[in-house]
Amino acid sequence: MPQPHVAVIGTGVIGAMTAWHLARRGAAVLAFDAYSPGHDRGASAGESRIFRTAYKEGSNYVPLLCQAGRLWRELEAGTTTELLTMCGGLTIGAADHPDVLAVRGCAEENGLDHEVLDAETARRRFPQHRIDDDEVAVLDPAAGVLRPEPAVQAALRAAADAGAAVLPHHPVDELAETGTGWRITSGGEHFDADHVVFAPGPWARRLEPLRQLPIEVRMITACWFAARDIAAHGPDRLPIAIRRHREAAFSCFPLLDGVAIKMVPHHLGFPALDDPGALPRSAAPEFARAASEAADRLLPGVTPHPVRIGTFADGFTPDDHALLGPLPGRRNATVMTGFSGHGFKLAPVFGEIGADLVLRGGTEHDIAHLDPNRELVRDA
């Protein structure tokens, strides 16, 4: 039986991984992107992403994360670049904070290796963080830091090596269902496909078939702070961290560029954007000052003034879980969007699932919680 022609719309990490899995399984793949793969506007930008296994978002992600970890290593084996550095991960906050309890609960429920460090022990082992007496740190050794831009490039190279055609600077101007599939128009050219995979990230609602999906575009801002002791802040000594302090909440990444660690302030919010094309390219002075205050209070080893600020857009659903499955109301279409700021780590297994859905019509992975037809209720 001939394998289908599949169009993948979007080559961020989700689209890139899906193109890789489809092509390696024999599908004829066309992968479209309005920009260059690995660009700095969407959720596959920003130098680093977190990988973690003790997952506050729910135990139903743990099997997916384990498979994602194996697939990251498989992809990495075909490159000359380290994509995933296992440096461990910390969740720091009051012992009764919901995120701390959720991480501990996930680890205990799934028998995952972890440690719960009291404040004194955590300060001794990780002096890069200023930890208050009433806080604890949950250490997840099966956590690390991913390099997003090389990862996207690696997945697309692997897809191309397997026969996929990667088409950067090919914005999709029009999509039309045909009797047997879809016709994609880009730059005056027409491309026919049996099946379309929609992986557009925050650009979802620019595409007519996706306009009714409940996707909100939000801006995520990262700040880099210069480390005073470079060696102490590298991934061999500084785990990734998620901080839930009474004064500030942020994720924190070890130094990868030889200069600075990265902080993504959560307590300052992820403001909504009307369109990802309206993404500001830096932060307002008030944001930078507030991020500096958090760094000064909680990261004693840095100079608390950003040496770099970066912004990117991502698509969020009301319950902060992705839409992954057949596109409601359409034939021969799969939707993969709304990953809500935590999809990157899972991208290899989501790509595998996308290929399953296209080629087999279903998957052995449990993705019921990501069903595009589910009732979407905003998490409390």
Binned at pLDDT 50, 70 and 90, residue 376 comes out as: confident
| Residues 354, 352: Cα–Cα separation, whole Å | 5
Give the pLDDT score at 379. Answer: 56
Give the pLDDT score at 378. Answer: 64
Short-list 367, 357, 353, 349, CA closest to 332: 357
Give the tokens for residue 259. 């200069």
DSSP state of 347: H
- Collapse the DSSP code of 265 into the 3-class scheme (helix H, G, I; strand E, B; otherwise coil) and give the result: strand
Give the pLDDT score at 37. Answer: 86
- What does each C-alpha distance from 309 to 51, 261, 264, 265, 280 come to in angstroms? 22, 12, 10, 12, 11
Alpha helices in the chain (DSSP H): 13-24, 62-77, 98-109, 119-125, 148-161, 285-298, 347-360
**pLDDT tens for each residue of 130-148:** 999 999 999 999 999 999 9
Residue 2 has pLDDT above 80, yes or no: no
Q: What domains, with CATH codes, occur in the chain?
A: 5-46+148-213+318-370 (3.50.50.60), 89-141+216-316 (3.30.9.10)
Residue 380 has pLDDT above 70, yes or no: no
Beta bridge partners of 226: 260
Give the pLDDT score at 1. Answer: 57
DSSP state of 119: H
Give the pLDDT score at 279. Answer: 95
**pLDDT tens for each residue of 185-197:** 999 999 999 999 9
**Would you give the distance in Å from CA 71 to the centre of its chain?**
15
Q: How does the average pLDDT of the chain come out, rounded?
A: 96
**pLDDT tens for each residue of 74-84:** 999 999 999 99
**pLDDT tens for each residue of 267-322:** 999 999 999 999 999 999 999 999 999 999 999 999 999 999 999 999 999 999 99
